[in-house]
Amino acid sequence: MIVLGITETHCATAAILRDGAIVGCASEERFTRLKNDAGYPRLAVDALLRELSLTPRDIDLVALAGTRAYARDWMNRVLHDADYAREYYGVRLEERARGLGRRARKLGARLGLAERSRGKFELTERERLALVTDHLGLERSRIVAYDHHLCHAAAAYYGSPFAGERALVLTNDNAGDGLCATVSTGRGTALVRHEAVPSAPGSLGSFYSFVTLLLGMKFGEHEYKVMGLAPYAPARQAERAHEALSAVFGLEATTPARFAWKRRGPRYRLLLETTLGLRFDAVAAGAQRIVEDSLLAWARLMRERHGGERLALGGGVFMNVKANGLIAEEPWLRDLFVFPSCGDESNAIGAAYLGWLARAGVGATPQPFGPAYLGPSIDPASVETLIRSRDLASRYRVTEHERIEERIAELLVADGVVARCAGRMEFGARALGNRSILANPSDHRVVGTINRMIKNRDFWMPFAPSILREREDDYVVNPKGLASPYMMLAFATNPKRRDEITAALHPHDATARAHLVDEAWNPAYHRVLREFERRTGIGAVLNTSFNLHGEPLVGSPEDAVDTFERSGLSHLALDRWMISKK
């Protein structure tokens, strides 16, 4: 049975499940080249069908994530139109009359007298389903929709390696179908929800996003920058900010527990007044501590109420790897699975699991989520054609290598930085070696090189290491032996070998967002690390996403060459070819 899972919110994504296993997944942004592109992911669906040699007729069921869908132009306007976003999120000092004006705008849009995207408009069920039926030619009876947070929970639990063992399942995000968090127990193929937290009083995700906005960054996209900035704040300043922010937002241990704003008023203005006079890094530190303390307290409370020594986590708030790392240290926790790239893009996978289980019948067992290399693959013939058609050899040194991994390792030692585009594209926000910029992790100079010439990143942002699975004890502190194949946990590092990966650590607290590389999951990338280890004795490389700042990860060979030419990159390993600037 073939199930197509779809999420249409920001970072619209398609996933294909075949007989209980996720075999394809990709986000629309990789094809449109618009970061976090929203709406029906037509190009992603087409690319996955081509990759898997399927046609629309092969699809037995389409599972949509969320009971509601919004207009694509409105969602993208919130994400990419700065002036409109400031208006939508209430970035202003003065109070403004509301109510009548808002109703007038909505009425005007419905009558065609005003611009539709000025307000937040849902698609009708007819409009939503037509996007699928017109594209794929399927009957409406083969399309189902599932609750937003149920999809998060399904991805987290069915995607976990717990093999049906009992687990506590937590979801937490900005908002979806009126909720911001849920608590469930998973056992076998059943998910039983215990608590659901409404988003109206507030959500932990929206709190953190408003702090992101307050600090001059993009709501819903740059929250990871706040997390990266937080450790730099002086302790006394961070404590002041935490006390101030605790007065306006926190966890309430009610039944159900909820996350709520403690004071009324426009949220941006409320945060602005609360943090007036505080250092910007202290505000980041205070907000990060609110997230960490709230999630820890919530997880402990839910465990007391509902039991569970295993945790499965889903929803965008759990992209916060620092908070995840603290949860992992809880003494009662036996095992932890954080779904990779667990924002709304993961809901395509959750919806696919749910749709398959509903149709497959008694005894059906979903396969856990495995290697994340689920997008289109690099075709060697298309690379040769690209090299010829763009006459790359006339401008660059282009060489073909039988063992390209050895050449990559040689250049990492000699030159420090190489971009790699090979194999199937990885799903999600984390580059996992196939669409990555790699560097020598022991040479701190590469940090400046990558930031200045390639990524144009904020100076405080850390990089991450890819580490040979068999060498993890040399570099990270992981007493419970938790799996980390997706860069979803932050670890303390081993001081004895820390200097070998110093460029890939957070420069202030020396933590690592580690990617543990298993040979069985990605043999070619594992060979790159092995060849580098053979030359240096270091069993890791610095790994950052292959993209320019503000752009999606590269997807195709054309994207890779375009990014190579527009950046300060010296070397691009494209399948088995090395392209180097002269």
Judge if 37 and 52 occupy the same domain. yes
Say if residue 461 is in the same domain as residue 327. Answer: no
> What residue numbers bound the domain in which 366 lies?
2-70+122-150+349-370
How far CA 47 is from CA of 110, 134, 175, 380, 463, in Å, comes to: 35, 17, 29, 17, 30
User: Are 323 and 429 in a shared domain?
Assistant: no
Is residue 109 in some structural domain?
no
pTM: 0.95
480/557 same-domain check: yes
Q: Does residue 103 lie within any of the structural domains?
A: no
What pLDDT, on a 0 to 100 scale, did the predictor assign at position 106? 47
146 and 199 fall within a common domain: no
Q: At what angle do helices 523-536 and 404-414 cross, to 10 degrees?
A: 40
**235 and 331 belong to one structural domain:** yes
Same domain, 400 and 415: yes
Q: What percent of the chain has pLDDT over 70?
A: 95
11 and 44 part of one domain:
yes
**408 shares a domain with 321:** no
Q: What pLDDT, in 10s, does the model give residues 178-214?
A: 999 999 999 999 999 999 999 999 999 999 999 999 9
Element (H, E) at 48: helix 42-51
Specify the pLDDT at position 104: 40
pLDDT of 109 higher than 60: no
In the predicted model, what is the mean pLDDT of residues 546-557? 96
Residue 146 DSSP label: E
Distance from the Cα of residue 194 to its chain's centroid: 26
546, part of any domain: yes
Residue 145 lies in a domain: yes
Residue 92: per-residue pLDDT: 77
Q: Which of 313, 122, 281 is nearest to 204 (CA)?
A: 313
* CATH code, domain carrying 12: 3.30.420.40
Q: Please report the pLDDT score of residue 95 as a whole number.
A: 57
Q: What single string gives the DSSP state of each residue in 380-391?
A: HHHHHHHHHHTT
- Asked if 58 and 1 touch (Cβ cutoff 8 Å), the reply is no
Residues 357 and 305 in one domain: no
pLDDT at 113 over 70: no
| Within-domain flag for 101 | no
Domain membership flag for residue 456: yes
∠ Cα 436 442 448 (to 5°)? 65
Give the count of domains, the chain: 3
- The reply to whether 98 falls in a domain is no
Q: Can you give the CATH number for the domain in which 401 is found?
A: 3.90.870.20
CB 156 within 8 A of CB 146: no
Residues 179 and 278 in one domain: yes
Q: What is the mean pLDDT of the chain?
A: 94
99 has pLDDT over 80 = no
What does the pLDDT look like over 477-494, one tens digit per residue? 999 999 999 999 999 999
To the nearest 10°, the Cα dihedral for 247, 253, 257, 263? -20
Q: Do 542 and 506 meet the contact criterion of CB atoms below 8 Å apart? A: no
Q: Do 257 and 388 belong together in one domain?
A: no
Within a domain: residue 93? no
Is it the case that residue 438 has pLDDT exceeding 50?
yes
